[in-house]
Amino acid sequence: MSLPLFPMPRRLAELSGVPPKTQAEVIVSHNPELPQQGYLLTYAETIRMEYADAAGLRYGQQTLDQLRALPLAQQRAVTIEDWPDFPRRAFMLDISRDRVPTRAGLRRLVDLLALARYNQLELYIEHTFAYADHQELWQDASPITAEDLRWLDDLCAGHGIELVPNQNTFGHWERWLALDTYLPRAENAEPQEFAGVLRPPSTLAPTPENAEFVTGLIEELTAHVRSHRINIGADETWELGTGVSRRRAEQEGLGAVFMDYVEQVAEPWIAQGYAVEFWADILGSHPELMDRVPEGSVPVVWLYDAPEHMATALERMSPRERAFNEAHGVETEQLRDFSSRAQSLIEAGVPFWVAPGAGSWLSFTGRLDNAISNILDAARTGISHGSEGFLLTCWGDFGHYDPLVISYAPIIFGGGISWSADSSAALEDSLADILNRHVFDDESEIIGRVLVDVGRVTDVLDAKIPNSSPLFRIIQQVGELEAHHIPSPDSVEEARRILISAAERLAEARPASAEGSIAVEEIAQAMRWSLFAADLFISGLLTGGPSEGQDAQREAQRLVDRMDALLADQQRVWLLSSRPGGLETSIGRFAPARRALARLADGR
């Protein structure tokens, strides 16, 4: 039998007796023989709850509450036994690529994570914490303050979630190194060229002085939270070995230089009893380093595309794209799936976490099918190799245009799968219903279905691009699309049909939840951007189509007018859940597309 419960229990059986009455007795007992975080619930004339630990009691009570809330016609006497596949089920939100949530937005996120039984939250920080001595860095970013962090830590603790500080300490230091105050800390003080692309300084030099500097930042973060766990980042150190550390890298090897610095940053925290997470992309390319992973640290293996999506994308990948990956230290063949990505760690027997993606960034309405397959690949690889942790990531590359609500379906799926990977088929089929019932309380049963439908728009397109949607790239990365990135007119028309239908249905939604009206506005704005992008493809104006003649000029002007209206809407809708800092920077990234259209409208 099945009942509309979330997460779906791994063992549920109907009993012959009657379901409990409203005032039924509840007998609760501790049973240390149950699996960690597990519970055994008998929902009958007398309700009996056995629990393994405090988390098991919380999750058992959550299931009991859902059983009690079922309509009378669905009430059954049942027994449920449940426990998680991954002891640590984490979610990471990027707050450093322009979009910093308001407290209201963070509260909604914590409620969603609690529903999906995540027990860890990380806010990825590059420059968006109000560090006491670095106001020059964050003054225009509307950062998370110390008071915000304490408030959020308290909120998380009340929901059984551990708030883990996450400060990148090696790569992705563009915002810091753009300021003269911090530029001397760079591996290279000058921009570097990677496969024809000039990049500003982004990597810290691996020096003891920099290790000490980032230790001070982490000390400031950890002072405001309960957790004895941190994430020190250390991914995508693109310039490493090309500047300050060049001679050492030539003599000792690039991997050794990388690991020396990671050890310098991690070991003071490990000595204090902290668990230290760091991204494993650099480590995984250096099998000779596996015996140097510090005890008390955990490499986190990330990959954000589904195996089947990457198989097609790799087939079509141009020499230019492969060169770009290689110039940034990415071994293209490792991107096929999680087992390939984690191969070096698996062969060495080094414990690791898996980190799939919500698939929403570099998109407007998400890439849901890709996210679902990516999450399943991560979970199955992690379970096969005894991974303790599953970390679903929601990045904000190039401006974080997607509001958080676009990631709700992947968050629900990731929570359910990291709890019980065996529930995948039923969970995928139930995503819309779970969103309508448990998140939006939508009597029209529309919002969940719309989110799922528009989340699949990118997958309708027959152009397969790694880690992004063509509907995003045509607006935000003008002139960078190659021929195989451009979807066929038929697939674009199908995407338009889905978007137009979803917009019409969304207008009829009737959510009862407190966030319902905000969610409707944010989803509608995301769909407007996607529909605009589809119309850009159809016009051909930015992809080599007609750019001369009065018809082309008129079409370009119509698109300019639509884009101006969209930019005005973006400012309004952004502020529904996000702080103003970063908004101007995010919107500014659309300027090249608008200029290109305006030139065409002027006949130039």
Alpha helices in 141-284 (DSSP H): 146-158, 174-177, 208-222, 246-252, 254-271
Q: Average pLDDT for residues 240-262, to the nearest whole number? A: 96
**What six digits make up the tokens of 339?**
């087992």
Do 121 and 91 meet the contact criterion of CB atoms below 8 Å apart? Answer: yes
Q: From the candidates 50, 236, 277, 428, which is the catalytic residue?
A: 236
Question: Residue 175: inside a domain, yes or no?
Answer: yes
> What backbone phi and psi angles, to 5 degrees, belong to 269?
-80, -40
pLDDT band at 85 (very low <50, low <70, confident <90, very high): very high
The per-residue pLDDT of the chain, averaged, comes to 96
Same-domain check for residues 48 and 164: no
Which of 82, 100, 133 finishes a domain?
A: 82
Same-domain check for residues 73 and 139: no
pLDDT band at 384 (very low <50, low <70, confident <90, very high): very high
Domain count, the chain: 3
Which of 285, 302, 319 finishes a domain?
A: 302
Question: Residue 292: inside a domain, yes or no?
Answer: yes
- Provide the total of helices (H) and of strands (E) in the chain, helices listed first: 23, 15
Do 39 and 63 meet the contact criterion of CB atoms below 8 Å apart? Answer: yes
Same-domain check for residues 596 and 467: yes
Burial class (CB in 10 A: 0-12, 13-18, 19+), 92: buried
Three state DSSP letters for 33-93: CCCCCCEEEEECCCEEEEECCHHHHHHHHHHHHHHHCCCHHHCCCEEEEECCCCCEEEEEE
pLDDT in tens, 256-291: 999 999 999 999 999 999 999 999 999 999 999 999
Question: Residue 235: inside a domain, yes or no?
Answer: yes
DSSP percent split of the chain into helix, strand, coil, nearest 5? 50, 15, 35
Burial class (CB in 10 A: 0-12, 13-18, 19+), 290: middle
pLDDT band at 507 (very low <50, low <70, confident <90, very high): very high
Whole-prediction pTM: 0.97
CATH code of the domain containing 15: 3.30.379.10
pLDDT band at 329 (very low <50, low <70, confident <90, very high): confident
In Å, what is the CA distance from 222 to each residue of 153, 165, 392, 512?
11, 7, 22, 38
Same-domain check for residues 467 and 489: yes
Closest CA to 209 of 148, 250, 269, 261: 261
Which of 260, 285, 302 finishes a domain?
A: 302
Classify each residue of 252-288 as buried b or exposed e, where b means 16 or more C-beta atoms within 10 Å of its C-beta. Answer: eebbbbbbbbbebbbbebbeeebbbbbbbbbbbbbee
CATH code of the domain containing 242: 3.20.20.80
Same-domain check for residues 61 and 100: no
Same-domain check for residues 98 and 191: yes
Same-domain check for residues 262 and 213: yes
CA 224: distance to chain centroid?
A: 24
pLDDT value for 327 = 81
pLDDT value for 343 = 95
Angle between helices 516-539 and 550-574 (to 10 degrees): 160
Question: Residue 110: inside a domain, yes or no?
Answer: yes
CA 50: distance to chain centroid?
A: 34
Q: How far apart are CA 106 and CA 103, in angstroms?
A: 5
CATH code of the domain containing 531: 1.20.120.670
Do 579 and 101 meet the contact criterion of CB atoms below 8 Å apart? Answer: yes
Q: Average pLDDT for residues 352-364, to the nearest whole number? A: 97
Please report which helix (H) or strand (E) contains residue 379, including its range. Answer: helix 368-384
Same-domain check for residues 524 and 573: yes
Q: How far apart are CA 214 and CA 266, in angstroms?
A: 11
Tell me which residue range forms the domain holding 16.
Answer: 11-82
Question: Residue 181: inside a domain, yes or no?
Answer: yes
Same-domain check for residues 230 and 140: yes
pLDDT in tens, 533-568: 999 999 999 988 766 677 889 999 999 999 999 999
Check whether 604 has a pLDDT greater than 80. no
Closest CA to 461 of 432, 409, 496: 496
pLDDT band at 373 (very low <50, low <70, confident <90, very high): very high
Same-domain check for residues 63 and 147: no
pLDDT value for 548 = 67
Question: Residue 392: inside a domain, yes or no?
Answer: no
pLDDT in tens, 443-498: 999 999 999 999 999 999 999 999 999 999 999 988 889 999 999 999 999 999 99
Question: Residue 336: inside a domain, yes or no?
Answer: no
Closest CA to 348 of 433, 403, 289: 289
Check if 236 is active-site.
yes
> What backbone phi and psi angles, to 5 degrees, belong to 67?
-65, -45
> What backbone phi and psi angles, to 5 degrees, belong to 497?
-60, -45
pLDDT in tens, 5-57: 999 999 999 999 999 998 999 999 999 999 999 999 999 999 999 999 999 99
> Which comes out higher in pLDDT, residue 99 or 552?
99
Check whether 364 has a pLDDT greater than 80. yes
In Å, what is the CA distance from 166 to each residue of 263, 300, 356?
17, 13, 17
Q: Average pLDDT for residues 113-137, to the nearest whole number? A: 98
Q: Average pLDDT for residues 423-450, to the nearest whole number? A: 96
Same-domain check for residues 500 and 577: yes
Same-domain check for residues 136 and 18: no
Q: Average pLDDT for residues 346-373, to the nearest whole number? A: 97
Candidate from 41-50, 192-201, 322-331, 544-553 with smallest mean pLDDT: 544-553
Please report which helix (H) or strand (E) contains residue 591, including its range. Answer: helix 591-601
Count of alpha carbons within 13 angstroms of residue 410, beta-carbon side: 36
Burial class (CB in 10 A: 0-12, 13-18, 19+), 183: middle
pLDDT value for 547 = 66
Question: Residue 312: inside a domain, yes or no?
Answer: no
Check whether 323 has a pLDDT greater than 90. no
